Structure 1
């Protein structure tokens, strides 16, 4: 097993995100986007120049983010998924889980341009959440239910295999997907942390079809081979890495969002990088991010 020490981790942007999440590399712009969920902010970073911009949103939380065409994005506010135009206009597309004490959380676009996004219980213990597939026409299809905290959504390059995690259920699944109609035709446990209580969080697939996953409260990133074995562990200088993506001109920079949430004042003093955007160079090869296709 390959072990990467925390000394290899660099600061991509020093920040104080309460709950940094959903890093996405836009290869067209050569820009890194990410969210602070609980201080609802959309961040934009140009690593080549260091230019950083932030846009605050008037909502309780920003739950998820995805790229679309022509500079557009999908962005989740509370339980509503929105179209964010290049001119920053916000247009609601679909709302889910009406009447439940939930919010939208992690999501990712599959190779056919559909957006898969999950909901989570705001109290972090009730199985109120679901995994949804959002099609090009904006319709939402419930795919998996009885989820506490949806996370770790990722897809193999051919779109036939998906990954999905319930962070507070301490389980990750491998899904068999029909790439043509987006139906889930099989589901099996991929990783089980129910005995240890570990919290697998956001994830991404690399060019070799391996899954990189952050461990919230676990201080590390791991890479799973397709057979479920861990072959790489990256130790982090923070307790709460939250999500990962590959970026840079050659997709060889692993970007990691982090959080200050749940950390005591003493712990925050000991972790000056908590809440910052971090990066590790040259430990893997990523792929361009899939983009949502509007009908």
Structure 2
């Protein structure tokens, strides 16, 4: 099982892959270049914004919810127009959005962080029924936001801690109790980044600096890892007609100048076929 290049555009910080189940199309971001990227039968697609953008959920066939440094937006793929849904730490120029994902109730969880990864500058929010609610504060680099198939819990990480947390959810999708450690990767020197949960409940998580995506069972046991050509594997997403293709974004941020500017695959987006069966992302209900 090996990764192939799905898209050879080299992102500074590739993130937020989303497979749109109705369009049968992958979307992802180059955060530092303020770009939403995709591909269709005609070839590469790109939309540019005036600030960092990092994560999305799908609303309908032609509409995405997009998280930017200052707001959540309703974005029309047909003409590129956008409408603000709510502000996101608009009074704090230090922060920007980072990892985010739709939850099974039609909400959207989104993390914020310092533009220079300032310690404890970020938080995790839930946008639900038209309102933004703060869930967790004092987070440095929010990542790995994803949800168990049975709706029992959510996962997230502050990458700087090297720990992935799990928090129980109530019947409406709100945290029910304090988060507990699900994975402690500090002894292995691994940095958890974006994550997604497969149909069987396995957590697949990109590991920054390790050139791989690793799979962990619901009890936290390590199962296996899939190597990718990009050193900084940032976030996985399941897609394809049968949801058996694992797409993985990557970054060249933080690499030495000679590596970051050569023609190496760092920053490209990869596809690994036949890994396991994933699930379609839930619709965001506005």
Contact kept in structure 1, 2:35 and 2:53, CA below 8 Å: yes
Matched, 1:112 2:105: yes
Which TM-score applies when normalising by structure 1? 0.91
Q: CA deviation at 1:271?
A: 6.7
Q: Which of 168, 179, 202 is the matching residue for 2:171?
A: 179
Q: Deviations over 1:11-57 (max 9, x none)?
A: 111111111111111121111111110011111112xx362111111
One of 262, 269, 278 as aligned partner of 2:270? 278
1:251 aligns with 2:243: yes
What pairs with 1:56-75 in structure 2 (closer than 5 Å)? 56-59=48-51, 61-75=52-66
Structure 1: unaligned runs, 5 residues or longer: none
1:161-180 alignment, distance < 5 Å: 161-180=153-172
Distance 1:95 1:197 in 2: 36
Report matched runs for 1:135-146 at 5 Å: 135-137=128-130, 139-146=131-138
Structure 1 residues 222-231 or 270-279, which shifts more?
Answer: 270-279
Q: Are 1:39 and 2:33 matched, yes or no? A: yes
User: What is the distance in 2 between the residues matched to 1:100 and 1:197?
Assistant: 32
Q: 2:86 pairs with 94, 107, 116, which one?
A: 94
Instruction: Give secondary structure in 1 for the equivalent of 2:266.
Output: coil
Q: Does 2:11 correspond to 1:17?
A: yes
Q: Please give the alpha-carbon distance, in whole angstroms, between the structure 1 residues aligned to 2:150 and 2:177.
A: 15
- Please say if 1:189 is aligned against 2:154: no
Q: In the superposition, relative to structure 1, how do residues 202 and 84 fare at CA in structure 2: closer, same or farther (>3 Å)? A: same
1:213 paired to 2:193:
no
Residue 131 (structure 1) aligns with = 124
Shift of residue 197, structure 1, vs aligned partner: 4.7
8 A Cα contact 2:67 2:110, kept in partner: no
SS at match of 1:25: strand
Tell me if the contact between 1:255 and 1:278 (Cα under 8 Å) persists in the aligned partners.
yes
* Pick aligned residue for 2:146 from 144, 147, 154: 154
Is the 1:219–1:235 Cα contact (8 Å) retained in structure 2?
Answer: yes
Answer with 79-88 or 280-289: which moved more.
79-88
2:72 maps to which of 40, 64, 81: 81
Closer/same/farther in 2, CA of residues 93 and 11 from structure 1, 3 Å limit: same
Between the aligned partners of 2:268 and 2:42, the Cα distance in structure 1 is 14
How far apart are the structure 2 equivalents of 1:189 and 1:50? 45
Partners of 1:264 and 1:235 in 2: how far apart? 21
1-side partners of 2:233 and 2:109: how far apart? 22
Q: What's the offset of the Cα at 1:236?
A: 2.0
Which stretch of the first structure deviates more once superposed, 172-181 or 9-18? 172-181
